[in-house]
Amino acid sequence: MASIECYHCKQKTDECPECHEPFEQRLMLPVVLFIIALLLSGITGYRWYSAMEEHEKAMALRQTYLKKNPEALKKLR
């Protein structure tokens, strides 16, 4: 269990002086939220990277098509 030492009175305590809950319970929620945020950031980054790869493939395919069919470029304008 986590204990914190008070620099003023030099006592060690394992619970919050205000609500008398153990410190581990008070730290658990922020840790869980941080892990969830980290996981969601990783998933979002992967999806963004995957979308950029698909976009690059599509642009390369478009460029190849426009090189083979220059009249298609004139129709776009």
Pairing of strands 4-5, 12-13: antiparallel
pLDDT, tens only, 15-64: 666 666 665 655 678 889 999 999 999 999 999 999 999 999 999 999 99
Residues with Cβ < 8 Å from 26, sequence gap 6 or more?
A: 16
Token reading at 55: 């976009």
Token reading at 77: 């304008």
- Give the C-alpha distances (Å, rounded to integers) separating 48 from 40, 51, 56, 69: 12, 5, 12, 31
- 68 pLDDT above the threshold of 70: yes
What global pTM score does this model have? 0.53
Q: How big is the chain, counted in residues?
A: 77
